[in-house]
């Protein structure tokens, strides 16, 4: 069960790192002392250009910048920071001796979130940074929620495998990548044998247990950093194996077949023996040609799966799709 993150978690999170840009050495030292005393990790620089350079190399959630500095000033720095693609939001606090309304408006419009009029009053600085941390915590929880939603939207809720939406989004990319780098690609259509009988004899919930455990067994037997499995339909799954040629694809299918068949599955209604049939479709060793589309690859795997079923189930069949375009080009 996923838990919502609480905004109040800022009390337990360590204080975020601060980048301080201040050209006056005495103020820089004083500010660094204030910030460190409040528990922050501080990197201090003396101008806007240096600050911007540091910002591109590391993510600082909080920027405290003086307005007037030689070269790039604080306002230009805020503007530039807003145009960077960073890992998260930067809360920008502008220090200024200019406290006229026009100046404050100009600073906020340039991208500063808040301002502090010099000379800096230490408790006010700490209070304003705490307000900034509340904004950062909100942004953090929003990002985390977006990430969770993305995961949910591409995952099959029952088995934890990727869902069909992800498959149809990601497989064309895999095909394209293998084409560009001339790597082979194999896909394996897997279908649990006589699954309807398991449902009929043990009930739908026990059938669900089998589906879950099937995916678990498959995931434990493939390369976790490159291979992946998606639920294609009810009890049909597609295994995607980048950089895998035909022979290895068949080998993986046989390995998974052995792992599924080796031990019965423990369902809530007792143990049940499960077998699976496989259809492997692979590109040539130098990757897919221009004519090969995802639909063709899946269809080829499906036809091989059908052959496995016809031949008596609990087996693997496969095909290496000929490079038709290469043949034409060579002719
Ligand atoms: P074959 O060996 O030819 O593949 O036979 P089969 O019984 O596995 O194939 P069939 O297509 O006849 O039956 C598939 C069954 O899978 C029917 C359907 O009710 C069941 N099924 C589909 N999705 C789910 C699910 O999420 N949970 C459960 N428990 N069963 C499902
Ligand atoms: Mg089946």
pLDDT in tens, 15-57: 899 999 999 999 999 999 999 999 999 999 999 999 999 999 9
Distance CA 120, CA 65 (A): 12
pLDDT, residue 323, reads 74
H helix or E strand, kind and range, residue 127: helix 122-154
Report DSSP state, residue 234. Answer: S
Distance 322 CA to ligand 2 centre (A): 28
Distance CA 105, CA 118 (A): 17
- Starting from the CA of residue 196, give the closest ligand: 1
> Catalytic residue at 236?
no
Shortest-distance Cα residue to atom 24 of ligand 1: 234
Pocket of ligand 1 (CB under 6 A): 158, 191-196, 199, 204, 207-208, 211, 234-235, 309, 313
Give backbone dihedrals phi and psi of 62, rounded to 5 degrees, phi first: -125, 130
Count the neighbouring beta carbons within 10 Å of the beta carbon of residue 28.
18
Q: Give the position, in ligand 1's atom list, of the atom nearest the Cα of 204.
A: 29
Q: Give the position, in ligand 1's atom list, of the atom nearest the Cα of 207.
A: 29
Distance 195 CA to ligand 1 centre (A): 5
Residue 82 C-beta-side C-alpha neighbours within 13 Å: 14
Is residue 242 within 8 A of residue 184, CB to CB? The reply is no
Report DSSP state, residue 239. Answer: E
pLDDT higher at 214 or 9:
214
Q: Does residue 10 surpass a pLDDT of 50?
A: no
- Starting from the CA of residue 210, give the closest ligand: 1
pLDDT in tens, 143-189: 999 999 999 999 999 999 999 999 999 999 999 999 999 999 999 99
Residue to substitute in 200, 234, 310 for testing ligand 1 pocket (most ligand atoms within 8 angstroms of CB): 234
Q: Give the position, in ligand 1's atom list, of the atom nearest the Cα of 158.
A: 26
Distance CA 316, CA 277 (A): 6
Residue 71 C-beta-side C-alpha neighbours within 13 Å: 12
Q: 270 has which bridge partners?
A: 267
Mention every residue, 6+ apart, whose C-beta is less than 8 A from residue 3.
none
pLDDT, residue 138, reads 95
- Starting from the CA of residue 236, give the closest ligand: 2
Q: For 203-225, what is the mean pLDDT?
A: 96
Residue 158 C-beta-side C-alpha neighbours within 13 Å: 19
pLDDT higher at 4 or 249:
249
Q: Is 289 helix (H, G, I), strand (E, B) or coil?
A: coil
- Give me the torsion for CA of 178, 179, 183, 184, rounded to 10°: 90
pLDDT higher at 257 or 326:
257
pLDDT in tens, 86-145: 989 999 999 988 878 898 898 899 999 999 998 999 999 999 999 999 999 999 999 999
pLDDT, residue 325, reads 54
């Amino acid at each position: 069960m996923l838990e919502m993150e609480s905004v109040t978690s800022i009390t337990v999170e360590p204080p975020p790192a601060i980048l301080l840009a201040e050209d006056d050495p005495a103020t820089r030292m004083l500010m660094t002392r204030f910030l460190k005393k409040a528990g922050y990790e501080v990197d201090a620089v003396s101008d806007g250009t240096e600050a911007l350079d540091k910002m591109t190399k590391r993510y600082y959630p909080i920027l405290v910048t003086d307005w007037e500095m030689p070269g790039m000033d604080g306002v230009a720095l805020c503007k530039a920071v807003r145009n960077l693609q960073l890992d998260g939001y930067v809360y920008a606090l502008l220090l200024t001796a200019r406290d006229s309304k026009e100046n404050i408006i100009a600073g906020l419009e340039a991208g500063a979130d808040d301002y502090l009029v010099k000379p800096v009053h230490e408790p006010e600085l700490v209070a304003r940074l705490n307000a900034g941390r509340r904004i950062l915590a909100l942004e953090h929880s929003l990002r985390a929620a977006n990430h969770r939603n993305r995961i949910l939207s591409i995952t099959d809720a029952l088995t934890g495998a990727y869902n069909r939406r992800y498959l149809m989004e990601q497989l064309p990319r895999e095909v394209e990548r293998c084409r560009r780098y001339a790597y082979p690609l194999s896909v394996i259509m897997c279908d649990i044998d006589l699954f309807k009988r398991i449902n009929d004899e043990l009930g739908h919930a026990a059938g669900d247990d089998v589906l879950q455990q099937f995916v678990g067994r498959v995931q434990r037997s493939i390369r976790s950093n490159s291979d992946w499995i998606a639920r294609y339909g009810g009890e049909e799954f597609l295994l995607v194996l980048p950089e895998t040629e035909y022979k290895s694809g068949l080998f993986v299918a046989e390995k998974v077949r052995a792992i599924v068949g080796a031990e019965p599955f423990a369902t809530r209604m007792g143990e049940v023996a499960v077998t699976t049939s496989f259809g492997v479709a692979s590109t040539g060793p130098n990757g897919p040609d221009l004519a090969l589309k995802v639909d063709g690859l899946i269809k080829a795997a499906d036809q091989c799966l059908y052959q496995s079923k016809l031949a008596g189930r609990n087996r693997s069949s496969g095909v290496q799709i000929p490079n038709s375009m290469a043949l034409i080009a060579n002719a």
